[in-house]
A and B are shown apart, each in its own frame.
Chain A
């Protein structure tokens, strides 16, 4: 319990550091959003008034303070280009990205463990070369390219889904899942092959150890030794890896959303970056960072559960 509290404490500190970093980084930019909005023809009085309305004439530290206070109340400020509260702007998009990322994580876990265990058990057969080769190739296909291939094959040739025909999860939940499963799969694909490789390699390394030989010598069957001894130890590095992967999956969704035209956080992040809409950019980066940090925490806790010897 003390461990959990300590971890949560570090998490809050990290998020505070991240938000400070993001906020001050953007306040260093020389460009003035008030001028950007009014155009170059604007009179100084108009600019001053708009800057006052936007709160830009206050000192940086004060703005940072009120920004943080606002976030604690769920208020991320107002978007420059949409003229809407950032919270309203993002509320549905968060759901989309979250749904897609969770699906990608589920697909990764559901497919990689059985596949990895199968490949590890077949590692002394002739199929091993085939598996390793396929695995190595799949690992090298970036998710945006496999996404394009999936669109081509399943969307345009087999017509299983309509590319670009995303339906909101509020209107048609199952239809939305049916669409998002393809981008989620594109995100998951390289991760699956990485986990399979890692599981195979660690299981092989583990199988060479003395305690495994002892287990055999006591008359255990191969299957029992594999599942009760080898797998139990081989799974720990895999969990660490999966934990790091969650962060990658969340970041990877930014790119894959673009491939499948999914209106999630990634797409609005890109348009806001090119439109210099900083409140939106700050909010999204902070949200994604929170997702990453929280998933890291969950992994740390799981890690301790799988291997109680670990003290952090």
Chain B
């Protein structure tokens, strides 16, 4: 009883925070109050006011507008990374889980070796090879996210494959492809939902971290992590320059983790 209540509170809070982020993202796509890249040296390091509700950075760019576009950037990268991770993860996970054998053995050994790498390190390795920029970041993080998805999906496919109803369709003479597409994939959705939410969260964190290191969006293009590192030089005189983008990152992560917590299967 009590547990359902906290679950509901978590769900509503998570939904509200995620809603705020989505509104910011849409604003970042449709309309920002100022041009996020337009420099106005007369407004350099201007504080919080009605004109600039989050102040201006040391090039006189409106921080609120930059945050809106930064949210869009982060969400886009995170969504693309999770998409790559789930897509490739489903393929690898289903093939290895369903067919087993030596392909499974080799791929899973490799998978475990990659999984032992922290995603930031792996992404840095890929970026070291490909060079920086948003596209490279998406590919780098995408590769880093595949193994965890593949592992989860493989486990689930392995479980479903041995259930009675699959044996039954097999007796009817269904092909492997049909069994996988019609009978196994739809049943992965519960596992997928929670791992996609958790993965999305990790992707947001990784994107922010990598762009903080300067390995994501390149200046003058805004991203939340980059804004944090730019704000560090003026942190004493203008702490808000760092606090606002940072808070937005916190709200993003908090919202998604509350959502995924509340949607988690009852145990």
A-side residues, CB < 8 A to B, are 14, 17-18, 21-22, 25-26, 28-29, 136-137, 139-142, 144-145, 148-149, 151-152, 156, 205, 247-248, 250-252, 254-255, 258-259, 269-270, 273-274, 278, 281, 285, 288-289, 292-293, 296
Q: Which residues of A contact B128 (CB under 8 A)?
A: 26, 273, 278, 281
Known: A251-B121, A273-B128. A152 touches B235 (CB 8 A): yes
**For residue B235, which residues in chain A have a CB less than 8 angstroms away from its CB?**
148, 151-152, 156
Once bound together, how far apart are the Cα atoms of A140 and B120, in whole Å? Answer: 17
B117 at the interface (CB under 8 A from A): yes
What residue in chain B is nearest A146 (Cβ atoms)?
B246
Using a CB-CB cutoff of 8 Å, which residues 235-253 of chain B contact chain A?
Answer: 235-236, 239, 242-243, 246, 249-250, 253
CA distance A142 to B110 in the complex (A): 29
Do most interface residues of chain B lie in helix, strand or loop, or is the interface mixed? helix
Residues of A within 8 A of B28 (CB): none
Q: Contact at A288–B213, with CB atoms within 8 Å?
A: no
Which residue of A22, A29, A137, A144 contacts B228 across the interface (Cβ within 8 Å)?
A: A144
Q: Which of B127, B129, B231, B254 contacts A137 (CB 8 A)?
A: B254
**Of A29, A137, A144, A273, which is within 8 A of B124 by CB?**
A273
Q: A140-B257, A285-B121 are in contact. Are A255 and B213 (CB under 8 A)?
A: yes
Instruction: Give how many A-B residue pairs fall within 8 Å (CB-CB).
Output: 109
Partner-contacting stretch, out of B62-70, B81-89, B204-212 = B204-212
Closest 4 CB pairs of A and B: A251-B118, A140-B254, A145-B246, A140-B253
Query: Of B205, B232, B250, which is within 8 A of A148 by CB?
Result: B232
Q: Is the CB of A292 within 8 A of B253?
A: no
Q: Which residues of B contact A296 (CB under 8 A)?
A: 116
Q: Is the CB of A136 within 8 A of B213?
A: no
Taking a contact as CB atoms under 8 Å apart, the answer to whether B213 and A145 are in contact is: no
Can you report 17 residue pairs joining A to B where beta carbons are below 8 Å apart?
Answer: A17-B113, A137-B250, A141-B250, A144-B228, A145-B250, A149-B243, A149-B246, A205-B267, A247-B116, A254-B121, A255-B209, A269-B124, A273-B215, A281-B128, A289-B121, A292-B116, A292-B121
